[in-house]
């Protein structure tokens, strides 16, 4: 048992706990599980004995950021890369009308899924055609060769590589985006259906000013002494300043520029700067309680609801919405993508405030409140070790000061149905719902709720 948790447990116990809550907390406290994610494919995790690793024999595949700094260039998913796949296909249709052959290939990738079940994912690809040599062609010798180094006689075998290693069709190198990519793709399709069938209310229709989180690169930053090009106006101003302070400009009415003294630092240059393209936008935080008590139905509900919201945002606001994902038990942690968020297993205790605090920290640190509409969706079973929300409420109040909407979903356990849950109780008691009807929404669902109920829930949260 984590001693820190135990200490925390003792503090809240001193504050007073009902016996059955104490029992529930103790169950979570003694829960030995850890948050893990399911294996992405059945193969992962199994050691591949003596697998022969072959380096590239193409010198152009090596490059500094990877080799020297171990930087990772994540391949962006196409949904974030383009405004939408529809636009892409629309573009392709238009090509045909304009008399040019279609250029976008909608490829189907089969990804090995959980339990050996393959999933088909649709990925648009294209290629830029040029006159190039067919490097794979060699009529005289159909045996590919590569460079190599090390000991051994001519003729000696230095390594072996299974013939069918690459898995399903289309999953060659570079295509191995893995599951997160797939998650986005299917979420995208789902979002499309949602938007069509359920007519979810639009965040856009609220008339909020939206900032897009895209960037453009401009040369607006100023830098004295060095840079890409000279800002003549600013430079001249600086020179005049310098000369005034040097007393080299006795009569402002009669300036002789040829007498100016110019210091190297007087030259003001423009350098590259990253500018936000102000078109629109919002930041959405997804918060999920993944404590031990969330096991089973509540997690499923919360996660499916968040999938729905996420899918819908992805579809409706393609690249205009940024999402952040936070998981919490007694500690909150930010995870990089929806896949991790979706798949991390439940374990540990519950402290809602930790997640709220993390949101506050992120918002403050990155100064998000200024540039973004901030939406927060929190899913929990309503259980919180923090009685009366002593820690959670102050954090929540802070959030309400800058956010555009906080939607809390409580998936109630059936066993706790007689009384309302801890989170529900302290939020209702706090009076925040009445004071900020526009900012804070609470939706309580039973753990046996159906999907339609979830959609209604979303409507309630975002209307």
Partner 1 sequence: MELVDQHIKEIMEGCKERARAVGLRFPDETLEYIVTNRDLLELSPKLMIPTLYDYWVHDVDVLKEKGKYELYPVNPYETVINTRPAISFYNDNNPDWLNVMIFYHVLAHIDFFQNNLFFRHTWDYDFTGQALSDKRLIARLRSEHGRWLDYVIEFVRGIDNLVGYYHDLSHLNHTSEATWSKRVNFYFDVFIQTINKLKIHEYVKEIDRYNDCMKKYEELGEELFFSEVDLKYPEFKEVFRKSLEKKPERKADLIELLIECSQFLNKDENEWMKSVLQVVRNTSLFFQPQIRTKIMNEGWASYWHETLFMQDDRIEGHEVEFARVHAGVTSMPRVGMNPYALGMHLFYYIEELVEKGRYSLEFRRISDARRREKFDAGTGQGRDFIFKIRENYCDFMFINTFLEQDFITRKKLFVAGRRLNKDKKVYEYYIKSRKIEDYRKTVLDSLYHPPNIEIDLDKNKNNTLYLNHHFEERPLVKEFITNTMIGIEYLWGGPVQLETSEFVSASPSTGQSYYSVGLPSAQEAGKEPTGEWQRVLYTMENRKLSRKTI
Give, as ranges, the residues between 158 and 217 that touch partner 1 (CB under 8 A).
Answer: 158-164, 166, 169-172, 174-175, 215, 217
Q: Does 66 bind partner 1 (CB under 8 A)?
A: yes
# residues contacting partner 1 (CB under 8 A):
99
**Segment contacting partner 1 by CB under 8 A, of 133-141, 246-254, 368-376, 431-439:** 133-141
Output the smallest distance, CB 127 to partner 1, in A: 4
Asked if 94 touches partner 1 (CB under 8 A), the answer is: yes
Is residue 273 near partner 1 by the rule CB under 8 A? yes
Which of 8, 21, 22, 88 binds partner 1 (CB under 8 A)? It is 88
- Show contacts with partner 1 in window 350-389 (CB under 8 A): none
Give which of 291, 341, 304 is closest to 25, Cα–Cα. Answer: 291
Of 17-25, 148-156, 394-402, 419-427: span binding partner 1 (CB under 8 A): 148-156
Burial 87-118 (b: 16+ CB within 10 A, else e): ebeeebeeeeeeeeeeebeeeebebbbeeeee
The rounded distance, in Å, linking the Cα atoms of 45 and 51 is 14
Which of 18-26, 35-43, 223-231, 370-378 is the region at the interface with partner 1 (rule: CB under 8 A)? 223-231
The distance from CA 43 to its chain's CA centroid, rounded to whole angstroms, is 26
Which of 3, 49, 115, 155 is close enough to bind partner 1 by CB under 8 A? Answer: 155
Interatomic CA distance for residues 426 and 433, integer angstroms: 11
Q: Which long-range contacts (CB under 8 A, 24 or more apart) does 302-306 make?
A: 302/379, 302/380, 302/381, 302/409, 302/411, 303/342, 303/379, 304/451, 304/454, 305/379, 305/409, 305/454, 305/457, 305/458, 306/341, 306/342, 306/377, 306/379
Given 6, 55, 261, 401, the residue binding partner 1 (CB under 8 A):
55
Interface residue with partner 1, options 7, 14, 34, 73 (CB under 8 A)? 73
With beta carbons less than 8 A apart as the criterion, state whether 288 and 345 touch: no
Contact 415, 449 (CB under 8 A): no
Q: How far is the CB of 247 from partner 1 (least distance, A)?
A: 30
Q: How far is the CB of 203 from partner 1 (least distance, A)?
A: 23
Stretch that binds partner 1, among 151-159, 182-190, 282-290, 296-304 (CB under 8 A): 151-159
Q: What 3-state DSSP class applies to 283?
A: strand
- Residue of 32, 45, 140, 415 that binds partner 1 (CB under 8 A): 140
How many C-beta atoms lie closer than 10 Å to residue 364's C-beta? 12
User: Would you call 453 exposed, middle or buried from its count of C-beta atoms within 10 A (0-12, 13-18, 19+)?
Assistant: middle
CA distance linking residue 418 with residue 406, whole number of Å: 26
Q: Is 57 in the site for partner 1 (CB under 8 A)?
A: yes
Residue 442 CB, shortest distance to partner 1, in Å, is 34
Rounded to the nearest whole angstrom, what is the least distance from the CB of residue 303 to partner 1 in the complex? 26
The residue written with tokens 């897009």 in the block is 212
Residues in region 225-254 near partner 1 by CB under 8 A: 225-229
Which of 68, 199, 258, 431 binds partner 1 (CB under 8 A)? It is 68
According to CB under 8 A, which residues from 3 to 42 bind partner 1? none
Placement of tokens 């080299």 in the chain: 248
Q: Does 129 bind partner 1 (CB under 8 A)?
A: yes
Phi, psi for 289 (deg, rounded to 5): -80, 115
Q: Which of residues 252-271 bind partner 1 (CB under 8 A)?
A: 271
């Amino acid at each position: 048992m984590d001693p820190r948790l135990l200490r925390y447990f003792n503090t809240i116990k001193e504050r007073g706990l009902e016996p059955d809550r104490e029992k529930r907390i103790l169950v979570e406290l003694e829960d030995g599980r850890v948050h893990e994610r399911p294996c992405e494919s059945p193969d992962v995790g199994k050691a591949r004995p003596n697998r022969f690793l072959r380096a590239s024999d193409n010198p152009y595949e090596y490059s500094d950021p990877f080799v020297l700094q171990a930087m990772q260039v994540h391949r962006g998913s196409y949904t974030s890369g383009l405004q939408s796949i529809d636009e892409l296909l629309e573009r392709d249709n238009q090509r045909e009308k304009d008399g040019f052959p279609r250029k976008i290939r909608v490829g189907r990738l089969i990804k090995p899924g959980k339990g050996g079940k393959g999933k088909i994912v649709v990925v648009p690809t294209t290629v830029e055609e040029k006159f190039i040599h067919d490097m794979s062609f060699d009529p005289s010798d159909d045996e590919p060769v590569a460079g190599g180094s090390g000991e051994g006689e001519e003729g000696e075998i230095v390594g072996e590589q299974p013939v069918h290693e690459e898995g399903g069709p289309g999953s060659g190198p570079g295509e191995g985006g893995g599951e997160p990519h797939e998650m986005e793709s299917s979420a995208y399709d789902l979002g499309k259906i949602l938007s069509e069938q359920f007519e979810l209310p639009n965040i856009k229709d609220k008339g909020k000013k939206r900032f897009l989180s895209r960037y453009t690169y401009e040369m607006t930053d100023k830098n004295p002494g060095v840079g890409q090009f000279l800002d003549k106006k600013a430079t001249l101003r600086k020179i005049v300043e310098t000369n005034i302070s040097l007393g080299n400009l006795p009569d402002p009415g009669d300036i002789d520029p040829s007498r100016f003294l110019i210091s190297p630092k007087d030259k003001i240059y423009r350098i590259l700067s990253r500018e936000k393209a102000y078109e629109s936008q919002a930041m959405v935080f997804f918060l999920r309680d993944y404590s031990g008590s969330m096991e089973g139905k509540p997690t499923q509900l919360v996660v499916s609801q968040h999938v729905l919201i996420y899918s819908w945002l992805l579809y409706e606001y393609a690249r205009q919405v940024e999402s952040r994902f936070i998981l919490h038990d007694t500690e909150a942690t930010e995870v990089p993508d929806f896949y991790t968020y979706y798949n991390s297993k439940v374990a540990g205790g519950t402290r809602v405030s930790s997640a709220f605090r993390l949101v506050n920290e992120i918002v403050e640190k990155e100064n998000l409140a200024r540039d973004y509409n901030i939406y927060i969706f929190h899913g929990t079973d309503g259980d919180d070790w923090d009685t009366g929300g002593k820690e959670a409420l102050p954090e929540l109040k802070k959030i309400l000061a800058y956010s555009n909407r906080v939607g809390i979903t409580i998936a109630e356990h059936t066993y706790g149905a007689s009384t309302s849950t801890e989170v529900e109780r302290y939020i209702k008691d706090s009076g925040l719902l009445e004071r900020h009807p526009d900012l804070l929404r609470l939706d309580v669902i039973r753990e046996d709720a159906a999907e339609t109920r979830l959609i209604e829930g979303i409507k309630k949260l975002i209307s």
